[in-house]
Amino acid sequence: MLKPSILTTAVLLALPQGLWAGELVLDDDARLERIEVRASGLRRDVVEMAGPVSVLSGDDLVRRTEASIGETLKFEPGVHGNYFGPVASSPVIRGLDGPRVQVIHNGMSTGDVSREGPDHTITADAITAQQIEVLRGPATLLYGSGAIGGVINVVDNRIPRTAQPQAETVLQGRLNSAAAERSLAFAHDSAAETLAFHADGYYRKGNDYRVPEYQSEDGFRSKRLDNSWSDHQVLNLGSSKVADWGFVGISYGYISSEYGLPEGPQDPLDDDEGELIKLNQQRLALAAEYQPQHASWELVTVDVAFTDYDHAEYDEGEAETEFTSKQWELRLTGTYLLGDGWRGIVGYHGTKRDYEALGEEAFTPNTDTDSHALFLLQEKSFGDLKFEFGSRYERLTQKATAVEDAIGVRDIRDPFNLFSWSVGAVYQLTGHHQVTAAFSQAQRAPGANELYANGIHVGTRSYEIGTAYQVSHSDGQTEILSDASLSKAERANNVDLGLRGQLEQVSYQLNLFYNQIDDFAYLSNLGFEIAGFDAYQYRQDDARLHGAEASVRWQLAPDHQLSLMGDLVRARLKDGGNLPRIPPFRLGAEYQFTADQWTAQLGVMHHGRQNKVADNETATDSYTLVEAALNYHFSWQQWELMAFAKAQNLSNQLAFVHSSFIKEDAPLAGRNLTVGLQLRF
C-alpha cells in the first residue's frame, strides 16, 4: 500500500480550502485579493508576505467559530488542535504548540496561562472577533521567543481606530445539539463626533458533549464526554479619541469562566464530581497611533496592557492548585521611510510577569519573568522582487523562588540572551504568480513550567518534571535533583518556500518547510509512575521538523466552487526516534454552491493514521469527517440578517486526536447540528 509523503501530499492538494479564509482567491478583476495582516507589523497584505499567512473573517469566521481558538482554526492549512476537550483546545502549527505558538489579541499577549498547560483555555475568543490571522513559521522578530512556531492574532475593535458615522450593533445567537450548547453574543460601535465607543460580550453555556459510544481501559462505556461542560461570561468596553493625526484609546475586559476537564467513561456508581477549572481575568489596555506627517516617519504606535489572571483547579469540590499571573506589557514602534524605497519598523517590546502556583498540588514554583527586546524590520522592492529582513535582541530573565528537589529548597535565576533574525523575498513571476522564500534563525528560552515543574499536574493527571532536573529511577525509587546547567535556549533554523497565484478560474498555494531546532524541549513519557501518576519530563534534544501545505480553489462556474487542500508534518529527533503528539497528514475536499442569498457547502476531511510515535506513546487510527453548512442572508425592516446552520461529523464517527494529551479519554464530538442567527443594524 502506498504511504503519503510530503511530495505526494503537495501534489494531491486535498482538504477543503473553502474551510479556510484568507488564502489567495479570485475577485471581480481577476486579481489576488488584498487582505491586510495586522500582525505583520508593517500592515502588509497577504500577497505581500514572504511567509505563509491565513486570515479567517466574515461569513467563514461565523461558520467556523467554536468554543476555543484551537477548534475554530483546526481547518487552516498546517494548523491542528491539541484538543483537551472542546473548550481547552489550543492551536498546533506545523507540529508545534504550547509555548511555541504565541496567541495574541490585537498584537498583545492574552496574559493567560494557556501556554503552560494543554488543559488551560485561551482567553481570546472568536465569537466577537473581526478576523483571526495565522502566521505559520517563526514570527519571533515582533512577538518574542514564544512565537518560534507561529502566531495567532485575534483582531477586534475593542479599542476603536476610527469614528464611524453611524452606530452599528451585531447580535448573534446559536445552539448546538451535541452539548445543548447555547450562546448569545453582541458587539456595538458608535461615535459622538471624534469620540468612538465599543462594547462587546458573550454568554456561552454547554453540557457534556455527546460522542459515539466508546470504552475506557476499565471496561466502562459512555456516549458522553464526561465532564466536558462549560460556562463562560465575557464583557469588554472601549473608547477612543480619533483625529486626523491618529487616535488614542483605552479598553477594559472581564472574563469569568468555568469548565470541566474531560474524563473517560466512569463507573456509574462513582459520584465523583470530576475536576474543573474556574478562572477570572481582568484586562486593561491602552493604544495610540500617531501619524507625524513627516518625510521620514510614517507612523508611531504605543500599546500598553495589564492583565490580572487567576484560575483554580478543583478536584472533588476542593481547590487543589491555583495559578495567578499579573503581567505588564509595553510595545513601542516607529514605521519609517528611507531614501530609494526602503521602508521599515523599529521598536521596543517589554514584558514583566509575576506568576504564582499555589496549593498542595502546585507543580511549578513561583516565577518572575522579565523580558526586554529591541527589534528591526526592513523591506524594499527591486522591480518584481520584494526583499525583507529583520532582527531582534531579547534579554529574558526567569527568577524562580523556593525550587525544591531531593537536596532542599533554593532560589534560581536563569538569564537568557536571545537573538533572532530572518530574511525573505517575494518574487512576481508573472501578473498573478508569486514565488516566496524565507529563512530565519530564532531562539527561545524555555518557560517556567518547562524549566522548574516538579509535581502532580491535576489537569493532565500526570507528574511533570522540568528540564532543570536530573532524574534517576531504580527499584521503584525516583530521585530528582536540580541542575540548571541542563537548561538551554532553543535555536531554530527554518526554511520556508512557497508558490502561489492563479490560472484562469483556479487559485493555488503551496508551501514547503524545514525546521531544525537544536535543544528542543519536549514533554516525554518516562515510562514509570511517581505518586501513582505517569511521569513526564521536559527533555532537550535536537529535532527536525519538515512538511508541506497545499491548497487549490477552482471556480467551476459562477455559482459552483471546488476547494482542495492537504498538509503533512514529520517530526523526528536527530539521534533517532519521533517527537510525541505530532498530528498526522490530512486530505479532503469541499464543494460550495452559491445562489442569490444562499451559500451551501459540503466537505469531507480525512485524518491519516499516526503510527510514527515516540517512546511510550500509542498509535492513533485514521478517521474521516463529513460536514455540511448553509448560510442565508436576508433583510427585515432596517435589519440585515444571516441565518446559518452546520452539521458536523455526519457519519457519527468515533475519532481520537493524536495531538491531544488525553486522546484515549476525549474523542471528538459525535454528530452535531449547530443553528444560529446573526442580526446587524
Within a domain: residue 612? yes
d(CA 440, CA 51): 11
Confidence class for position 206, pLDDT limits 50, 70, 90: very high
Within a domain: residue 205? yes
Within a domain: residue 7? no
pLDDT for the residue 33: 54
φ and ψ at residue 164, rounded to 5 degrees: -75, 140
Nearest C-alpha neighbor of 614 from the set 570, 655, 656, 668: 570
d(CA 641, CA 620): 42
pLDDT for the residue 28: 38
Domain that holds residue 421: 14-680
φ and ψ at residue 106, rounded to 5 degrees: 55, 40
Residue in this structure with the C-alpha cell 481547590, named with its chain if needed? 319
Q: What is the pLDDT of residues 49-104, one digit of tens each?
A: 878 888 999 999 999 999 999 999 998 999 999 999 888 999 999 999 988 999 99
Q: What percent of the chain has pLDDT over 70?
A: 95
How many residues are given for the chain? 681
Cα angle 459, 653, 655; round to 5: 30
d(CA 666, CA 212): 11
Residue 328 and residue 109 in contact, taking contact as beta carbons nearer than 8 Å: no
Mean pLDDT within 595-599: 92
pLDDT at 404 over 80: no
Confidence class for position 326, pLDDT limits 50, 70, 90: very high
Higher pLDDT, 316 or 87: 87
Within a domain: residue 172? yes
d(CA 646, CA 307): 35
Q: Read off the C-alpha cell for 313.
A: 483547579
pLDDT at 20 over 80: no
pLDDT for the residue 17: 34
Distances (CA, A) of 394 to 49, 349, 445, 493: 24, 9, 10, 17
pLDDT for the residue 216: 87
Nearest C-alpha neighbor of 150 from the set 162, 141, 140: 140
Mean pLDDT within 360-383: 90
* Order of all β-strands in the sheet with 150-155: 53-57, 131-136, 150-155, 101-105, 108-109
Within a domain: residue 439? yes
**DSSP for residue 148:** S
d(CA 67, CA 491): 34
Mean pLDDT within 144-160: 91
Burial of residue 564 (number of CB atoms within 10 Å: 0-12, 13-18, 19+): buried
pLDDT for the residue 118: 86
Count the neighbouring beta carbons within 10 Å of the beta carbon of residue 574: 13
Count of domains in the chain? 1
Within a domain: residue 643? yes
Nearest C-alpha neighbor of 121 from the set 225, 314, 257, 321: 257
pLDDT for the residue 9: 34
Mean pLDDT within 302-318: 91
Nearest C-alpha neighbor of 403 from the set 454, 450, 358, 447: 454
pLDDT for the residue 269: 77
pLDDT for the residue 504: 85
pLDDT at 330 over 90: yes
Task: Indicate which CATH number applies to the domain containing 70.
Answer: 2.40.170.20
Distances (CA, A) of 476 to 479, 529, 531, 616, 664: 10, 9, 11, 18, 26
d(CA 427, CA 44): 15
Q: Strand 366-382 vs strand 385-404: parallel, antiparallel, or unpaired?
A: antiparallel
Nearest C-alpha neighbor of 48 from the set 487, 508, 381, 474: 381
pLDDT at 6 over 60: no
Q: What is the CA radius of gyration of the chain?
A: 24
Q: What is the pLDDT of residues 79-90, one digit of tens each?
A: 999 999 888 999
Q: What percent of the chain has pLDDT over 90?
A: 67
pLDDT for the residue 22: 37
φ and ψ at residue 565, rounded to 5 degrees: -165, 155
pLDDT for the residue 359: 81
Mean pLDDT within 20-37: 48
Higher pLDDT, 141 or 196: 196
Helix (H, G, I), strand (E, B) or coil at 137: coil
pLDDT at 347 over 90: yes
Mean pLDDT within 327-331: 97
Nearest C-alpha neighbor of 256 from the set 335, 329, 300, 312: 312
Residue 524 and residue 41 in contact, taking contact as beta carbons nearer than 8 Å: no
φ and ψ at residue 342, rounded to 5 degrees: -75, 135
Within a domain: residue 129? yes
Dihedral (CA of 333, 338, 341, 342) sign: negative
Burial of residue 475 (number of CB atoms within 10 Å: 0-12, 13-18, 19+): exposed
Within a domain: residue 6? no
Three-state secondary structure of 257-271: EEEECCCCCCCCCCC
pLDDT for the residue 34: 64
d(CA 96, CA 522): 10
Q: What is the pLDDT of residues 215-251, one digit of tens each?
A: 988 889 999 999 999 999 999 999 999 999 999 999 9
pLDDT for the residue 560: 96
φ and ψ at residue 613, rounded to 5 degrees: -110, 160
Q: Strand 490-503 vs strand 150-155: parallel, antiparallel, or unpaired?
A: unpaired
Higher pLDDT, 678 or 16: 678
Residue 360 and residue 320 in contact, taking contact as beta carbons nearer than 8 Å: yes
Nearest C-alpha neighbor of 662 from the set 231, 265, 205: 265
Confidence class for position 12, pLDDT limits 50, 70, 90: very low
pLDDT for the residue 16: 33
Contacts of 477 (CB under 8 A, 6+ apart): none
- The mean-pLDDT minimum among 52-61, 415-424, 483-492, 549-558 falls in 483-492
Mean pLDDT within 593-605: 94
Residue 314, beta-bridge partner list: 276, 319
The rounded mean pLDDT for the chain is 89
Residue 280, beta-bridge partner list: 256, 310
Q: What is the pLDDT of residues 113-150, one digit of tens each?
A: 888 888 889 999 999 999 999 998 888 788 888 888 99
Helix (H, G, I), strand (E, B) or coil at 329: strand
Residue type, 73: L
Confidence class for position 459, pLDDT limits 50, 70, 90: confident
Q: DSSP 3-state helix, strand, coil percentages of the chain (rounded to 5)?
A: 10, 60, 35
